[in-house]
Chain A
Amino acid sequence: MRRAEFVTAAVLALMSVYLMWKSSELEIGYITGEGPGGGAWPFWLSGIMLICTGFIAVNCYRRTSPPSQSTEPFLDSYGKKMLLLVGGGIFGFIALVSIISMYGAMFVFLIYYLRFLGRHTWTLTMTIATSVPIVFFFFFEALMRITLPKGMKFLEPIFNYLNTIIY
């Protein structure tokens, strides 16, 4: 935990420096007669962030913050596995959206989570995995008129057919 606190502070410090550098593309000073320039707000706030990470590191060194006193590992084997399975699952879900559409990706993700992580029965899994995309489709496309991603070209005929039903 203590090492993680240090490493995180260092990463956030680097990020702050990057943000300061990026902000300086615009005027960061005080323009006479006009007030602060376009980059001033993010630049100086990132500066404060940098200072904060310094304090966080000092607190960590002096062991005054709870995470720096903890001897527990930052991510134990359960945490790592969880992050990989659940976080990775969401990652896969989002990646699939551009390929098999939001609705298809939803279907696959629900099967993955319910059946393989949740260990629910196939009946329950398939009921939820099919009904959720259908309800979402009618809610978003027909009722709210918000079009969600439709995936790659090969799915077009299916959605064109569905469109003839709802419009």
Chain B
Amino acid sequence: MKLTRRIALGFMFATGMMASVVTTTTPAHAWEPTKPIDFVIMAGAGGGADQIARFLQSVAEKKDLTVRPLVPNNKGGGSGAEALIALNGASDKDHSILVTLNSFFTTPIRQPNLGIDIQTFTPVTMMGVDPFVLWVHKDSGIKTFEDWLAKVKADNGEYVMGGTGKGQEDSIVIAWMEKNFDIKIKYIPYKGGGAVAKDLAGQQIMASVNNPAEAKGFFESGDVVPLIAFSDERLPNLPDTRTVKELGKDFSYYNQRAVVGAPGMSDEAAAYYRDLFGKIYDTEEWQNYMKSESLEPLPMDAATQKEYWKTQVDRHNELLKAIGG
């Protein structure tokens, strides 16, 4: 239905004709958007966060859940600082929402002059959390985490890992490993997870810490080997991969995939978006996506989300202090 309408619009443009299009009506809400919703993404086009945002948008479109479209808007500049500034100063607070990752917590800590207080943002829906796993190339011959540690120690600071940059999620995990297993790693920052995956597959770097979703293709083909997961429990898709908790270290690290509203959003609008993303969360599409991409559910109501933000900010304060970033 939608498809034919859009194509019809295409023809209208091409031929210069104009026809009136009947609008679809959805059950009445207390509040409904009157214009396209600015769907800001804290990362550039093509990354993991972008992929999730576009997936959410597609589901909303497919199920015809919104009367106005979600318009994805990539603002990845300055580790997402640009997105936070845009939302903080949004002229229309009821039509601006944000897809976040952990830079939602780390960027305001690392760039205090931005003047962003994330507690003023409006919690909407926690779509899930994305675990991290340590990967090596199969040709390295390394099969276990212990072998890996021995190899890194033997290389004495020449062991090369790639990641998405100082202060980013994977660098926090790597810094934690350096401190807790007494190893030294040569860390090379890349533009995005895709570039890291490519250089791992081409053995330009020796290992990486990545979300299972990003390494999935290479894992299934057997090119990369998971060594250890930084999750609370073993991942259903990687049942043979141990967690750091099994090694006796009390540590886990996830990337949050949450939707957040602009500061000062009206309660009615916030309720509308919670309802919308709640519906998307319950769709078969999103549930399957979480399963296949190894996302873990972490449902929370609005008040709990705010609490969660507080604990995450404290935790990242500590983690970042440890790496001096």
Contacts and interface: CB of A to CB of B under 8 A. Distances in A.
State if A and B touch, Cβ cutoff 8 Å: yes
Q: A134, A143, A160, A165 — which one has the most chain B CB atoms within 10 A of its CB?
A: A143
B1 interface: no
A167 B12 contact: no
Contacts of B20: 165
Contacts, number: 42
State which size class the interface on A falls in. 10 to 19
B258 to A, nearest CB: 24
> B interface, by DSSP: helix, strand, loop or mixed?
loop
A164 B38 CA distance: 17
Interface string A125-167: 0000000001100110111011100100000100110011111
Interface residues of B, number: 18
B302 interface: no
Contacts of A166: 9, 21
A139 B13 contact: yes
Contact of A135 (B13, B21, B35, B71): B13
Contact of A159 (B6, B9, B12, B35): B35
A167 B23 contact: yes
B279 interface: no
A150 B71 CA distance: 15
A138 B35 contact: no
Given A143-B9, A163-B68, A165-B21, A135 B36 contact: no
Contacts of A147: 35-36, 38, 71
- Consensus secondary structure, chain A interface: helix
Interface in B1-44: 6, 9-10, 12-13, 16, 18, 20-21, 23, 34-36, 38
Interface of A: 134-135, 138-139, 141-143, 145-147, 150, 156, 159-160, 163-167
**6 shortest A-B CB distances, which residue pairs?**
A160-B34, A142-B9, A143-B9, A147-B36, A139-B13, A145-B71
